[in-house]
Every structure is written in structure tokens, then in C-alpha cells.
Amino acid sequence: MIRGRKGYATAFRLATGEIELDKKPWKPLSRRHRLLNLPIVRGTPALIDALMIGYRSLIASADAASRGEGIKPPSALHYTISIAAALAIAIGGFVLAPSAAIQKLHLHSFTMNLVEGMVRLIFFVLFISLSSLMPDMRRVFQYHGAEHKVIHSYEATGAYTVDAAEPYRTLHQRCGTSFIFMVLFVGILVHALMGWPTLALRLLSRLLVLPIVAGIAYELIRLAGKYKSSPILGALVWPGMLLQKITTKEPTPDQVEVAIKALDGALELDGVKATA
């Protein structure tokens, strides 16, 4: 899936070997009202946009795979169960579990929050590392790498053939992986200032300050992209880039072809002539 200024396009390799393209116009939430485009505030709409587009792309992918294999697509109930399971893993594994794991340390509240945040980061890295060992997830991460290579090629030369994309790396500064890591990192600093109340209040407080955390993280990512020569900003985004070594893998040429098709669709939505 590749997102442009006016929409996003998702390409799928069907069981027949054909590539199917799904294009959807999309107006970012931050452009729907000027108040949503204010610094710090715009981080939450950006996060919501990413989640909604990602969810819709996954649904389109599952439907296309079902059609390609001649089976019935998943029902709304299946998708609901999947979302509920994902939320349970996110809240249970990355919010409640880290808090419970250090509950008996009895340290100063500031230190407890720092330790909890570090445990949360460790849990997150372990989760995606173990996920990457699954053959299906490794293939997903290869497609992720294909997206980045094709985008690098287009941004550098305006061309994005399989051969043109081959020399480029699979890491990209604007990747959602870097944004997620920055959210986790900023969360550690913000939560450290909030004391150490009961588990229920900690969960509630984490949810309430999420828009602030996401807003700060978003602005830091934007600044790092704008001032790429800054050593301080470079150091801030470096761990997120390092994390992409897990969430992206070197793709095969046929996977790069799918990414090229997705970029074609995104450029068409933007009214840009493709140069692949």
C-alpha cells in the first residue's frame, strides 16, 4: 500500500499471478478543518488516518486473496473479532503487562514510569521480532521493504522500475515504524511526569495523554525529515530506523513489481504522470 496526497492505492498479487489494484481517494483529517492541522494537534489525526487506511487496506487484501482462491471473503464478524483481538493484545501486552511486571519494585514514581516505559519498549521489540520469524509475516515485511525501495527510487530519480529500485535500501525515515517507536519513546517521558497511581488510573491516564504524546512524536518526525543534517534529530529517529531492520526485509523482484503497481495507483490519484 502506498499513500499519495489525494488518496492511497493497494496492490495485491493474486493466486493466478496477476496484480490487482485498489485505488481510494482520501482526504487527511488534518485537511478537513484548519484546527486539526495545528502543531501538536495534527499528530492524532495523522495517527487515526494511518490506522484507518491500514485497516481498509488489510480488508481489501483479504477480500482479494479470497476471490483469487475462489473462497468466501471474511465476514464482518471475522473482522470484528480480529480487531478485538488486536486491541486486547495492544492494551494487555503493551500497557497492562509492563505495569504488572514491575508492580512490586517499589521505586520512586518517576523511576517506576521510566522502568515501565523501557519494559514496554522491550515487549514491543520482542513481539515484532518473534512475529518476523513467521513465514507469512516475513513476507509482509518483504512487501514493506519493497514499498520503501520503490519510493526511494521515485524520490531520487523519478523512475521506479524493478532495476531502478534494486540498489536502494529498505529503510525510510517517514515510515510508520519510526512514528510508532517515537510515540513509545515520548510516552516514557510524558508518563514519567504523571506519578504512579493505581493500575486502572494508569491505564486511563495513558489513554488520555495519547493525543499529546502522538502530537509531540509527529512533530519530531516532521522536524527530522525537514532537517536531515541535524545530529540531534538524527539521533532521535535512529532507533526507529534501526527497528525497521525488523519490520522491513529485502524483497524479491516480483514483490517490487507489486509495490510499483501501488505507486502507479497513488500517482494517478494525485494526477501525476507515471514514469516507471
Domain that includes residue 263, residue range: 74-270
Residue 48 lies in a domain: no
pLDDT category at 38 given cuts 50, 70, 90 is very high
Residue 195 lies in a domain: yes
Residue 119 lies in a domain: yes
How many domains does the chain contain in total? 1
For residue 68, pLDDT over 70 is answered with no
Name the CA radius of gyration of the chain, rounded: 20
For residue 81, pLDDT over 80 is answered with yes
Q: Name the grid cell of 152.
A: 526511494
Q: Which residue has the higher pLDDT, 173 or 67?
A: 173
Burial of 115 (C-beta count, 10 Å sphere; 0-12/13-18/19+): middle
pLDDT at 276: 56
77-85, long-range: CB < 8 A, 24+ apart: 83/55
What pTM did the predictor assign? 0.87
Residue 21 lies in a domain: no
Task: Give mean pLDDT, residues 62-69.
Answer: 74
